[in-house]
Amino acid sequence: MPTPNRLAQPCDVFLNHRGIDTKRTVASLLYDHLTRLNLRPFLDNKNMKPGDKLFDKINSAIRECKVIPIFCDVKPSELRVVNNGKIPPKELERFNSALEEAKYTVGLTFNSLKGNLSDVVTSAADIVIYSLIEVEEEERNRNQNIGFSLQNVTEAAQIIED
């Protein structure tokens, strides 16, 4: 069961998987490895609790993900919602929209049948860490530019007052 503060923070990486087999193997291994590295991965059975609305949580996790989605044993082009008739049309539309966005987001795709799970987990973790460093550097640069802009505005205001 996730801790409350992990639920409140946006995820760093969204782990998508196909079926229970993948969830119990590579997706769970990757989730645990990333968590030990103090990252915030999202995996449905690890981040959701009874009473959570499936579509709301997954939709939110995809949209808030800071880095990249990771697709385990599923190609992004194969993402789709299986409608068993119990999904309200509005939620179905929102979830399909989130999946469409994920389909066109560059992510990592792993086929656990074609490699060593340990190598997949290590490789994915390395890529996630590298991507997070890039995102943080971009945010830092953007914030510095905003700081310089505010400083310039302040200096200009002082010149005008003088």
Q: Which domain holds residue 98?
A: 4-161
Q: What rounded mean pLDDT belongs to the chain?
A: 75
Contact 46, 30 (CB under 8 A): no
Q: Which range, of 2-16, 57-71, 133-147, averages the lowest pLDDT? A: 2-16
- Tell me the chain's radius of gyration from C-alpha atoms: 20
Q: Write down the pLDDT at residue 79.
A: 76
* Closest by Cα among 74, 73, 6, 93 to 42: 6
Find tokens 């190598």 and name the residue.
Answer: 119
Contact 121, 129 (CB under 8 A): no
Measured CA distances, 74 to 17, 18, 22, 41 (Å): 6, 6, 10, 18
pLDDT tens digits for range 27-59: 788 889 999 988 888 888 888 888 888 778 887
The total domain count for the chain is 1
| Joined tokens for residue 126 | 């390395």
pLDDT tens digits for range 106-127: 777 777 677 777 887 888 888 8
pTM for the structure as a whole: 0.60
Residue 33: give its domain's CATH number.
Answer: 3.40.50
pLDDT tens digits for range 76-108: 777 777 777 777 888 788 778 877 877 777 777
